[in-house]
Amino acid sequence: RRSVLGVLASASAASMIGAPVVARAAEIELRYGNNLPSTHPLNIRAQQAADQVRDKTNGRVEIKIFPNNQLGGDTDMLSQVRNGGITFFTPSALVIATLVPVAAINAVGFAFADYDQVWRAMDGGLGAHVRAAIAKVNLHAFEKIWDNGFRQMTSSSKPIESAKDMAGLKIRVPVSPLSLSMFKALDSAPASLQFSEVYTSLQTRIVDAQENPVSIIQVAKLYEVQKFCALTNHIWDGFWFVANGRAWAGLPDDVKAVITEALNDAGMKQRDDVRRLNESVQAELQAKGLAFNKAAPDSFRAKLRDAGFYKEWKERFGAEAWGLLEKEVGVLA
């Protein structure tokens, strides 16, 4: 019969000679899907947040990230986060607007002039208004919206210099009612496609143009299938970090507090990353052959106004939300 000490000695010996230590499966495993390449700051910072949650819960909680449309396109992931198939998703405000129409309000064409206006609105009354609307469809939106950036227009056959160049242009837009409305008002021929289909649709000339922040153009290698980039800043776009409402409510309060702190902190760092990237990446894209031109907003704004775009969306969003937007950006319509 081996003494107790003998058993302990052999156990410690086994651990010292590198016997495989089986990692204990986390007690709470949560899945997070998104539509961006793993190199985008959104995924870099989300992974850091997941690491922080694991460390602060001593391994109890693991957030597993599925980037780059691994779980399907935006439409698939939106239904998965609604039915609980995944716990977290980061839809663009444009995309979640298919479910929560008022969420598209930050994407009103040429509304924001700069980031000071954006964050005053999104971290203030307008953001709170949209988060309350998201809660009504049983999704929990974290307070700090993540940044996608100011969207620019790219094309393959000719540069976009002013609104007249939009006539008949076959341009891809995200699956979002406001995007379709805006680009129809500009007299172009918009096609709603999920982000997972953009590269091949440009490559096969199903569409000749698309619009995205330059950081997305970089990480998704859209410069390989586009020749021109008009710096229009026509929409500021953000990613709401949302959780399935039932799954979120079912988590222990201490776990919710750790996740909330980690995601909001990560979101603030991601905003800095995207802003720096959007300021620095143009030189890299030019070196890869993308030709840039500045496109003044005046002709585009006038076209939207004449087409009744601002009037229509003021009515669709309602006086309260529109007032919260105009409080930060001035009178739009």
Give me the residues that bind ligand X2X (CB under 6 A), please: 35, 92, 94-95, 148, 174, 195, 212, 216, 237
CB of 310 to ligand X2X, least distance (A): 21
d(CA 24, CA 62): 11
Give whole-number Cα distances, 199 to 162, 172, 221, 241, 276, in Å: 25, 10, 8, 25, 24
Residues 257/143, Cβ–Cβ less than 8 Å? no
Nearer to ligand X2X, 37 or 85 (CB): 37
| Short-list 141, 156, 174, CA closest to 267 | 141
Q: What count of Cα atoms within 13 Å lies in the side-chain half-sphere of residue 209?
A: 24
CB of 196 to ligand X2X, least distance (A): 9
CB of 14 to ligand X2X, least distance (A): 50
CB of 223 to ligand X2X, least distance (A): 15
DSSP assignment string, 248-278:
HHTS-HHHHHHHHHHHHHHHHHHHHHHHHHH
The H or E element containing residue 231 is: strand 228-239
Nearer to ligand X2X, 98 or 148 (CB): 148
Nearer to ligand X2X, 53 or 65 (CB): 65
Nearer to ligand X2X, 30 or 216 (CB): 216
Nearer to ligand X2X, 92 or 154 (CB): 92
CB of 166 to ligand X2X, least distance (A): 18
